[in-house]
Structure 1
Amino acid sequence: MALKIRLARGGSKKRPFYQIVVADVRSPRDGRFLEKVGSWNPMLKKDDAKRVELNNERIQHWLSNGALPTDRVLRFLNEAGIAKREVRNNPEKAVPGKKAQERAAEAKQKAEDAAAAAAE
């Protein structure tokens, strides 16, 4: 049985509240789970101690039994010092596409030509 440590949404409309649960990967997001190991309230301020609550012992137990955390939960575990999350960096994300690069090169060439013509 493949296990995930993931978020299960609760709360009302536009007022989210999440439980951090250990669940089988096949069960629905807000459905059946094995154990509740924490909570996350995104409505609280980021420096509030009650924003993220974790049961460290139980999380360590489930991690040692092969449960894999989702990316958002892994961020919480990394902040708490329970698990290490590798930094993901995509340096090509901000690079313009081919057409935009071609247009920029054309504009640069026109500017250089205009400057050369003005210098003559």
Structure 2
Amino acid sequence: MLKLRLTRIGRKRQPVYRLVVMLNTTRRDGRPIESLGYYNPITKESYFKMDKINWWLEKGVIPTDTVKSLLKKAANNN
């Protein structure tokens, strides 16, 4: 099953997350199918490719709870 989830990049105590599509059995930092944006929790900066995200959601990809709340915040800000 495909999931829309976050994978961690960045240094120790300075996390930055990349929004990716990957299989749910893949480890957190495993190889993604496609990268769709990023989120920095420290500066609250984020960038999402909404057209690609909507395309994947139409194909049946399930977002995690955290990703779902980030997408709602991004949709409200635009």
TM-score by length of structure 2 reads 0.91
AA partner of residue 63 (structure 1): L
User: Where do 1:1-120 residues align within 5 Å?
Assistant: 2-44=1-43, 46=44, 51-81=45-75
- 4+ residue runs of structure 1 moved beyond 3 angstroms? none
Q: Deviation digits for residues 84-109 of structure 1, max 9, x if unmatched?
A: xxxxxxxxxxxxxxxxxxxxxxxxxx
Q: Choose between structure 1 and 2: higher helix proportion.
A: 1
Separation in structure 1 between the aligned mates of residue 66 and residue 37 of structure 2, nearest angstrom:
13
Separation in structure 1 between the aligned mates of residue 73 and residue 42 of structure 2, nearest angstrom:
18
Q: Choose between structure 1 and 2: higher strand proportion.
A: 2
Q: Deviation digits for residues 9-51 of structure 1, max 9, x if unmatched?
A: 010110101000000111110111100001000121x4xxxx1
- What number of residue pairs does the alignment pair up? 76
Q: Deviation digits for residues 62-118 of structure 1, max 9, x if unmatched?
A: 000110101110001112339xxxxxxxxxxxxxxxxxxxxxxxxxxxxxxxxxxxx
Q: Find the residue that maps to 2:35 and give its secondary structure.
A: strand
Which has the greater radius of gyration?
1
TM-score by length of structure 1 reads 0.60
Long gaps (5+) in structure 1: 83-120
AA partner of residue 15 (structure 1): Q
Long gaps (5+) in structure 2: none
Q: Find the residue that maps to 1:81 and give its secondary structure.
A: helix
AA partner of residue 10 (structure 1): I
